[in-house]
Structure 1
Amino acid sequence: MNVITASNSQSGTPGLIRRLGKALSTPFDPEDYLALFDPLQSAREIRARVIGVHRESDQAVTLTLQPNRLWKGHRAGQHVLLGVDIQGVRHQRCFSLSSAPGGAPTISVKRQGQGGVSDHLVSHCREGDLLTLAEPAGDFVLPDAVPERLLMVTAGSGITPVHSIVKSLLASNFDGKVTWVHFERRYRDLMLSDSLAVLRRDPRLDLRLVLSGDSPRDGDQAGRLDEHWLTDNIDDAAGQTVFTCGPAGFLDTVMG
């Protein structure tokens, strides 16, 4: 079994004049002057405007972003360092991109309950907000020669990079088979449920949702991952290329 893992402004004329006066006395690049009128513009950093806010639940949100021209795109499965200003202080945190490459990038965020970046985005992020992004990074991506059979095993927020990978695969001419097993406690904890319902209709995808704290609906099942679950429930699990993402203990069980 080949296992690939991933660890889970003010506006108005007076303010503009003050900023412009400061700029005229500072050595700025030409694009920095444009940023005085359009904060999305920058010659030095990737900035992104939030153009869509989809409430997955009261605990999670998916944000659709419009980056500036410095954004060169991402590979399915990669993550990005996102920056947000909270009470005048820049905070940064890594998030996996949940979208397939080619369109507007999205991140899907779950509340952590610790008052950090994730909680701020879930509770306070609105359309029009500005964020910063680093270049996409990470090796949790498909190989150039994609295997005909793939097994995806995820839990919790580990769903996000695999959602990007699977969505990208199914939008391509891939003619193989993907089995995706996602473990979750309750339905209310599930992110990207609307998109999963659409992906599930593709005959190339066998999507299995396994619940440990809710009675399963039709097509889903109850249970939790242990060292025997994959070999007991997935035909030839040991012979497939496995992508897995989730909490540390979960990854240990998959690789064990």
Structure 2
Amino acid sequence: MIYGLYLSASGAAANMARLDVASNNLSNVATVGFKPDFLPVRQREVVRAEDDLPFADSNALLEHLGGGVQPMATRIALTQGPLELTHNSFDVGLEGQGFFEVQRGKGADGVHLTRDGRFTLDASGRLVTVTEGAAVLDHRGSPIRLDPSRPVSIGSDGTISQNNAPVARLAVVTVDDPDRMTKMGSNAFKPDPEVMAQRRPSLARVVQGAVEASGTNSVQALMDATGASRGAQGNFGMIGIFNDILDSAINTLGRVS
């Protein structure tokens, strides 16, 4: 009976975690360049195996039921979002795997990656992100400065030209292990130092005058949220049933007449 209570509690906790992830994905369905998360869930080992107690008493029936479920670390789904035309000469979208580099802090540790290509010029002519004014970096890791009075053309390889002369080239890179990236807010990602040090140029195509829409599938996210909510409700209901059974066992069966 207590074992069933623990199984239901683990199921409720896992479904609540799934609901949090699905709700966050759904709330970012209109966020440019957003990459949805997903939450893998694994079956827990039975207590005897999980606690490394090979000589503990075994209950074949309970061990057949397993140890419940356990959410694992949240992962990022790098699904390509659709490109939406904006006709803004400073907006760029990526087709294929890759990221722009932006300087959000000091030094190498402040270099983050993003798929949000909404850029503009600040008062000094630097190319910066619309969301927070972070400097957009070129392929050499330097901020990009442009002449505000001249039109801008951006090629599919990220080369920025003014008056038909190349001025800079956008840093577009890819990483080998995206699971080791952390979301930092404002659509930015921070890979761990080892992954960042091994980044390399990407073959993604740069599209001027467009931005990548959210990678969230609104229908799928809604279905995930609904399924997680119902799963949590079902497990909470089972917890209530076990609680009633325990109450009866303690207050009725255990009563001395």
* TM beyond 0.5: no
Of structures 1 and 2, the larger Rg is shown by: 2
Instruction: Give the TM bin, normalised by the shorter chain.
Output: under 0.3
- Normalising by the residue count of structure 2, what TM-score does the alignment of the two structures yield? 0.27
- Structure richer in strand, relative to its length: 1
- Structure richer in helix, relative to its length: 2
